[in-house]
Structure 1
């Protein structure tokens, strides 16, 4: 089955903000501090269940919020309830969507001037209830164009707004009738731009597919409207929360299916639905599906990680002509990267479960095989290090221990127990920077420890270039996994500073890498391979540019493309070594 996924599917900015506010509150929570949300934070049961596991309870009775830290839901609340929460001694954490807050401001300004407010939306929806609170008692909710005729004709000051997730076509019809009834009325189209894009894309998709699957909560207003739009387009439409609601035999009737999702639907749920649909294959051989299966196995099995690390010594050699055994250095690096990466993926399985449930299931199924292979790889890396020299062996032992302890809780003295970072991985940005530091050390410094002082300047240069290259690769991978990392509190750079700043950081790293290569070539520290590398670094620049147009989502294909940057440069370095004969 061919599956087309809407580019706009997944969390909108408002939902992302609500989760960020909540997760930040979790990280800063002190002992004995109680945090709750006033009503459901967003309309997605799976996300709410995960938050509840972290101790974030949903309170639907305002009196139960007394003296607590209260997260104001993304849909917002009426000002009267906000005042009551303050009276009850609650500390408010505002997670109201900025788009919704703007509608609050529009209604409030006009209400002060005596305007009646007509809200296009669902009267019992949390957002609309919040909007009504700003109308000074002069608000009315309608949901159908014909209801405009029932509004009082003698209103002289009338404002028309919309619930931010309303169907735009219905709002346009209501607007036309409203302006005929109230020629001097004011219309503010407050439908969120994200909602408009989702709805437009669903309409476009419906013309290209045999059926549509809309993923999201059954009580989510914007998701329900996406399903309504798809049905109005005349294609069979299935509104589901998870793939378990789909019938394999029924879906097998369609050869081309479109998938979109509501603003509160996490990427991992969308991905599970897509995987389920793609697994429904026709009887004839599907070459594309077989290739994707093999790619998944290579990514999940950490073979690309091991190959990328194995090629880094060759890159350093092509750049600077460092002497030494490439076979031993590459083997040591590959075994170390495979072992430590596999171990920490298992220890961080909660984040993987959120970002890629299929991958989590793969590791669980093959956990004993991965454990055995990781132990064997660690032993081989230490043996190869010993062959290089005793200093390299001792240093490799330290790096193995640090890698093993990365995600393991540390036993701290009693007076330090209040510290928030009880694991190395809990140190802010630890993953983003520790991986490139470790890889640069293992692939460049450790193999040449016996000649450290004799080739110090060249080693430091090669270390710097490899560090920058792996840093860009690691930060790009962090962008893919940001959604699950936020939910489990994983301390990557993108979680700390946000996606846009991380993208700018990666561009700066790639620029610094190109500058370092050019300077190295100009000063003679690096060989002419550095100029070829400048061109190859453009692959990462292009990929990052693509991420601005289409949000990155964790997927084996994306991950393989990111890893191919290091692997491609490494393969060319091998060819360079063979041809040039450094």
Structure 2
């Protein structure tokens, strides 16, 4: 069965921010950590947080102490004062868009306006908003409720940020008709509007809809209601285990969306399950898709990309590329990536559950091929000479111990960095240096009079391509990495700063290659290879500007960039 995923499915900005703040605090291990009320309306996520030592606190007592996270929904001023009066350290994860609505209510309330709030009176966000009205606010849920508003009041009108857009428009029209002087603010989150609009559009293109999210999540329920209103069969589930074959017995295509409090790994599990259900239509296109997905899960595209990059790097400074070196790099990258997946399987459970399941099901095959690849690499490096063998062996050992504890946890602070991968931002840099070393430095060992400026230029080209690609993948995998406590580049710097670093690094190394080609340090291949830097700029910007949704598409663009380098080198070599 074909599955179409809504571009907007999953965490919204506010929830993602709250989760990242909470997980970052949990990973610090700096005393007890609580959330004031459930962080989000998702039972599975709350269970996960509990396993990380994050408990829910509903009431504040004077003797309480520790750290407490204010959830994305926000809290009332009275609750904030109570927390400040205790020994708790406040970590504010209030969604900035909710905070803006709080500010509007506070500002207009002091001017004598009565706040009218469209929303669910029992929802935590609305309760928090009411707190800023000093008891003067009125909560309504439909246009009919406008008739109950008192005549003598001046009103300021806002909405719960996750409410239905069409209903709010009806309410605003009714209020304007009755109270022309009312001040109305459009406070429904843009993401909420986009999600609701996309559900209607997606439902028109599929046979049925699946909405993933907590049963207590208001925004998820609204997505479900909108999907049902289109006339298509719609099903609201929390996990993939609730899916039933009978729902899709006649469905060829199913649409999937998810509430703002649904994490990526839960959505991916649902998609993996759906692909095994419903009508089995084996078109040529579907077979190609399955073949590509299989290759991605085995890390073969990474290995082929490494082959291409090595080939391009060698031609860049040498003018020729004996295939034995790209093959050696390919075997190394394949073996290392597969084995490190097994050594670091916890992160895969959240970043890509489908890949984690694939590795569990084909453990013997994958480990066998990975060891065979490394074994083949050792044989090739021995054939090349003792220096190449020793360097390859050193890189292999370093690659294997990267995910293995080498410092005991009992050593306190140092124990936090028991593995090399625990060092903040080490993953991106380590992978880039390893690729650059085996692609550009290993081949020149033992060569008479190597031209080191050209070698260095090639090393920087290969390393920078890998660095930017790996950095983007770390950004895409930030949820899972936070959960397992890994401090990747975007976690150490923050997503926005990490993205700026990748963009600036890409520009710097692109200019460096241009200069190297202009000064004849490298061959004229340097000029067409600049397109690879432009492509890196494109996919980083596509992520930054939200032009491309879905990690798989961005990953494909990043992997294709490595192949592009090899194709340019091949064409240059032939012509």
Aligned residue for 1:63, secondary structure, equals coil
Matching residue within 281, 284, 290 for 1:287: 284
Q: Is 1:209 the equivalent of 2:206?
A: yes
Q: Is the 8 A contact 2:251 2:278 kept in 1?
A: no
CA drift of 1:508 comes to 2.5
Tell me the C-alpha RMSD between the 2 structures: 2.3
Q: Deviations over 1:404-462 (max 9, x none)?
A: 11111222596664553222111111111111100110111122222386432222121
- Which residue number corresponds to residue 422 of structure 1? 418
Q: Is 1:114 the equivalent of 2:112?
A: yes
- Which residue number corresponds to residue 148 of structure 1? 146
Aligned residue for 1:74, secondary structure, equals coil
- Counterpart Cα distance in 2 of 1:535 and 1:117: 55
- Counterpart Cα distance in 2 of 1:64 and 1:240: 40
- Counterpart Cα distance in 1 of 2:219 and 2:63: 28
- Which residue number corresponds to residue 334 of structure 1? 330
Go from structure 1 to structure 2 and tell me whether the alpha carbon gap of 1:331 and 1:255 turns closer, same or farther (over 3 Å shift).
Answer: closer
- Which residue number corresponds to residue 246 of structure 2? 249
Q: Is the 8 A contact 1:227 1:238 kept in 2?
A: yes
Q: Is the 8 A contact 1:299 1:559 kept in 2?
A: no
CA drift of 1:209 comes to 2.9
Which is further off, 504-513 or 414-423? 414-423
- Counterpart Cα distance in 2 of 1:39 and 1:69: 13
Q: Is the 8 A contact 1:3 1:258 kept in 2?
A: yes
- Counterpart Cα distance in 2 of 1:551 and 1:321: 37
- Which residue number corresponds to residue 441 of structure 1? 437
Q: Is 1:356 the equivalent of 2:352?
A: yes
- Counterpart Cα distance in 1 of 2:176 and 2:281: 58
- Which residue number corresponds to residue 167 of structure 2? 170
Which is further off, 56-65 or 293-302? 56-65
Q: Is the 8 A contact 1:118 1:141 kept in 2?
A: yes
Matching residue within 217, 220, 223 for 1:220: 217
- Counterpart Cα distance in 2 of 1:414 and 1:210: 56
Q: In the TM superposition, what are the counterparts of 1:387-406 in structure 2 within 5 Å?
A: 387-406=383-402
Q: Is 1:510 the equivalent of 2:506?
A: yes
Q: In the TM superposition, what are the counterparts of 1:43-82 in structure 2 within 5 Å?
A: 43-63=41-61, 66-82=64-80
- Counterpart Cα distance in 2 of 1:273 and 1:184: 48
Q: Is 1:478 the equivalent of 2:474?
A: yes
The TM-score, its normalising length taken from structure 1, stands at 0.93
- Which residue number corresponds to residue 240 of structure 1? 237
Q: Is 1:562 the equivalent of 2:558?
A: yes
Q: Deviations over 1:282-327 (max 9, x none)?
A: 455322221111111111111112222223332122111167x723
Go from structure 1 to structure 2 and tell me whether the alpha carbon gap of 1:65 and 1:12 turns closer, same or farther (over 3 Å shift).
Answer: farther
Q: Deviations over 1:169-202 (max 9, x none)?
A: 1112222222333333222221111111111222
Q: Is 1:197 the equivalent of 2:202?
A: no
CA drift of 1:486 comes to 2.7
- Counterpart Cα distance in 1 of 2:63 and 2:486: 28
CA drift of 1:93 comes to 0.5
Which is further off, 482-491 or 128-137? 482-491
- Which residue number corresponds to residue 298 of structure 2? 301
- Which residue number corresponds to residue 102 of structure 1? 100
- Which residue number corresponds to residue 256 of structure 2? 259
- Which residue number corresponds to residue 538 of structure 1? 534
Q: Is the 8 A contact 1:347 1:407 kept in 2?
A: yes
CA drift of 1:73 comes to 0.8
- Counterpart Cα distance in 1 of 2:70 and 2:410: 36
- Which residue number corresponds to residue 18 of structure 1? 18
- Which residue number corresponds to residue 525 of structure 2? 529
Aligned residue for 1:238, secondary structure, equals strand
Aligned residue for 2:186, secondary structure, equals coil
CA drift of 1:552 comes to 4.7
Which is further off, 113-122 or 426-435? 113-122
Which is further off, 131-140 or 329-338? 329-338
Go from structure 1 to structure 2 and tell me whether the alpha carbon gap of 1:452 and 1:99 turns closer, same or farther (over 3 Å shift).
Answer: farther
Q: Is the 8 A contact 1:385 1:447 kept in 2?
A: no
Q: Is the 8 A contact 1:75 1:127 kept in 2?
A: yes
Gaps spanning 5+ residues in structure 1: where? Answer: none
Go from structure 1 to structure 2 and tell me whether the alpha carbon gap of 1:185 and 1:414 turns closer, same or farther (over 3 Å shift).
Answer: closer
- Counterpart Cα distance in 1 of 2:448 and 2:471: 29
Gaps spanning 5+ residues in structure 2: where? Answer: none
